[in-house]
Structure 1
């Protein structure tokens, strides 16, 4: 037999007896608790998977024994940002996983932009309901299942209460001076270029924005809108405000016009980029009404026109978009449609058909084809068979009221249920969604 040792350069021949040679030809004995046999060296080997895995506890297991990669799969499927925020307060381990940047990006891409809606700020229409004693006409209604303290969403920290809610985006609100609303012919309310304020109800911070002196009291506004900053994020130090104006040229031709305010030390008012398609002709002011927003665009309905006015939030350019008559109705019809978004950010149109059915149309991305997504038949008990109209519409629910009446019913777009006793039915004004800022700012402190 030849043995090679680390201290010998030449092999050494060792004599063996017949008994030893016979024992070597037989199968090796089973290993015993005494360890390896004498004469054999024990070499270091790589640990196996069994040795690397943590031992399974002999007692009962709990959620704390779930590995991180499996716990991430569970947390990423939480239904809303509010529920995810609550989960982050469970323990340090869960907070470490949830606050990771890659996890938040994955969660946002899976659930879409509307997952963080905590509730809606409703504008109280004084023709349907009296204002509060302090004159405030904004009411926060939490989302279904959201147990929130409404005091945290109060606007009593603003300098005064002479503000009208114009728009919302993320966790911020855009308000404007109420006294800048004037009455136009045909009793239409017209908004002149107003002073504005952007605020964060949770942190109770706000920033005032003075009107643009060059545009003040010259042209009426089609709407005021709050947008993300240039980097796609939004905060009190990073936002934009767009004012859509109704401009009339010297030749009497009307066209839309936009100007934008940017926050920051180098921000301020400036003209938007001129439209590459030239001047977009629009009808008289009283024939135009805001229809909604979806897929980073704002839409206005124009009576008697075969197209819809659209403003791209990215390029700030106006254009005319044609929707099928089966979706928005015929020109001679007086039906009112609304444009709403969805979790997939697809364009959806909701309209009440003449037979009383509330129909939701969705445009398929890529092909542009329109399909019927949902159809809700309004019961007789809800409208008493009277023709109905849409009061407010968003990605979560629709507020409907019979014409010439003052009671409201709501249609939940997720459950397709018609509700008459919901709190949101008390307010006949527009409803603006309030979203949790993303990514959420999580802070921890020790409690007694």
Structure 2
């Protein structure tokens, strides 16, 4: 026993500062978890909020799987996140049985391991502009039931489009503001934004977990952004995509015969702008927008210029979406025996699905009819994430990272 104590002393006698620097060199979160299990002092250091903030800044959060109306689909071997994903699937409650049972809930967004859901309408219920929202932590089975948007704020929206008639303008989880992030418990903070719109005007409502209230953060006329001459040529701009990257939200607008534009919201300044259209041939749906590092945007699209398709990755300037700034970073050849499509993107990850180009060939009841692959912008390698059939109508949401900390106790 005395010998064991002497062998342990060189490491355990190190100062917390030196130990923290050593732990920051660990390559993955699971290695950090193993280190924290060694002794009480290691666990105290590893679970310290300031240390965890430093670790997260240095290590990209893992892609653990995706969530849709069929449930949680964890990464499977040989995907590098498979062990952590399996542990999460066993520990978390992705049926959301801990939420108020008098409602049916549907997933709207996921960020940092937290899930945003809204209440589904009952049969015969009138279409609302806003619905009931809840933010939950499925790992620790905690939730916050958000208050409704106040009537006086909702009344400020002129002739609004009901939320269920506009699937792109759904509520979105975003990080806290700069002021909230400066607080000691920044990882417990979050915001939810909701874009409400009429024909040509947009309204941004923001809920902050710091205040517990909604506020009208911004409103903007599309005429002011595009100009009267452009608006006179449009019948009705159509939303065909929504993406969140580099602190901004990008709604892709189909502008009749003039192609597409991006309506951009800076989520820190709460200011709207219009970004230049994507490069030629990229002005339809089916895009994936990711964070390419150094506050630059990356964009993925499947290009089929010949009989064979490629996955092309381009990088723009600093938050830029100018067609003159995009540079091709890589073209990834895809297997010609399959059809591929972009399903989701978030942070530094892209989700693709693939199915047989001729599904009636090599049909097997035992084999997967659809497979899912992830692409990490750091490696640009396709890695098989999931390989079992899921509902064709499911909209996948990437589940990235474990919840950083417990939400407050359940509230109603």
Same fold (TM over 0.5): yes
**CA 62–347 in structure 1, closer or farther in 2 if over 3 Å, else same:** farther
**CA 277–336 in structure 1, closer or farther in 2 if over 3 Å, else same:** closer
The residue that corresponds to 1:144 in the other structure is 82
TM-score (norm 1): 0.65
**CA 140–211 in structure 1, closer or farther in 2 if over 3 Å, else same:** farther
The residue that corresponds to 2:337 in the other structure is 381
**CA 335–168 in structure 1, closer or farther in 2 if over 3 Å, else same:** closer
**CA 59–162 in structure 1, closer or farther in 2 if over 3 Å, else same:** closer
SS at match of 1:336: coil
1:261 to 207, 218, 233: 207
Name the stretch that deviates more: 342-351 or 93-102: 93-102
8 Å CA contact 1:168–1:226 kept in 2: the answer is yes
Q: Does 1:353 align with 2:317?
A: no
The residue that corresponds to 1:172 in the other structure is 114
Q: Does 1:162 align with 2:104?
A: yes
- How far, CA to CA, are the matches of 1:63 and 1:367 in structure 2? 53
Query: Where do 5+ consecutive residues of structure 2 fail to align?
Result: 76-80, 164-168, 360-368, 407-412
Task: Report how far residue 275 of structure 1 moved.
Answer: 5.3
SS at match of 2:315: strand
The residue that corresponds to 1:407 in the other structure is 370
SS at match of 1:86: helix
1:45-444 paired onto structure 2 within 5 Å: 65-66=10-11, 67-68=14-15, 71-100=19-48, 103-111=51-59, 115-117=60-62, 119-124=64-69, 137-142=70-75, 143-146=81-84, 147-154=86-93, 155-160=96-101, 162-179=104-121, 192-212=129-149, 213=151, 215=154, 218-221=160-163, 222-230=169-177, 231-232=180-181, 238-248=189-199, 254-263=200-209, 266-274=211-219, 279-280=224-225, 287-304=238-255, 305-326=259-280, 329=281, 331=283, 334=284, 336-342=286-292, 346-355=296-305, 356-365=309-318, 369-383=325-339, 388-394=340-346, 395-401=348-354, 407-413=370-376, 416-418=380-382, 422-423=386-387, 426=390, 428-438=394-404
SS at match of 2:312: strand
SS at match of 1:79: coil
Query: Where do 5+ consecutive residues of structure 1 fail to align?
Result: 1-57, 125-136, 183-189, 249-253, 442-448
The residue that corresponds to 1:41 in the other structure is none
More relative contact order, 1 or 2 (CA 8 Å, 6+ apart): 2
8 Å CA contact 2:116–2:173 kept in 1: the answer is yes
1:189-216 deviation digits (Å, cap 9, x = unpaired): x984211111122232222234434538
Task: Report how far residue 59 of structure 1 moved.
Answer: 11
TM-score (norm 2): 0.69
The residue that corresponds to 2:363 in the other structure is none
1:22-49 deviation digits (Å, cap 9, x = unpaired): xxxxxxxxxxxxxxxxxxxxxxxxxxxx
Task: Report how far residue 229 of structure 1 moved.
Answer: 3.4
**CA 371–75 in structure 1, closer or farther in 2 if over 3 Å, else same:** farther
The residue that corresponds to 2:409 in the other structure is none
- How far, CA to CA, are the matches of 1:181 and 1:288 in structure 2? 27
The residue that corresponds to 1:54 in the other structure is none
8 Å CA contact 1:228–1:238 kept in 2: the answer is yes
SS at match of 2:27: coil
8 Å CA contact 2:174–2:193 kept in 1: the answer is yes
8 Å CA contact 2:110–2:397 kept in 1: the answer is no
1:429-448 deviation digits (Å, cap 9, x = unpaired): 2223243344x57xxxxxxx
**CA 61–350 in structure 1, closer or farther in 2 if over 3 Å, else same:** farther
**CA 227–285 in structure 1, closer or farther in 2 if over 3 Å, else same:** farther
8 Å CA contact 2:23–2:32 kept in 1: the answer is yes
Task: Report how far residue 246 of structure 1 moved.
Answer: 1.9
- How far, CA to CA, are the matches of 1:157 and 1:195 in structure 2? 16
SS at match of 1:347: strand
**CA 180–297 in structure 1, closer or farther in 2 if over 3 Å, else same:** farther
What is the number of residues matched between the two proteins?
348
Task: Report how far residue 295 of structure 1 moved.
Answer: 0.5
**CA 151–411 in structure 1, closer or farther in 2 if over 3 Å, else same:** closer
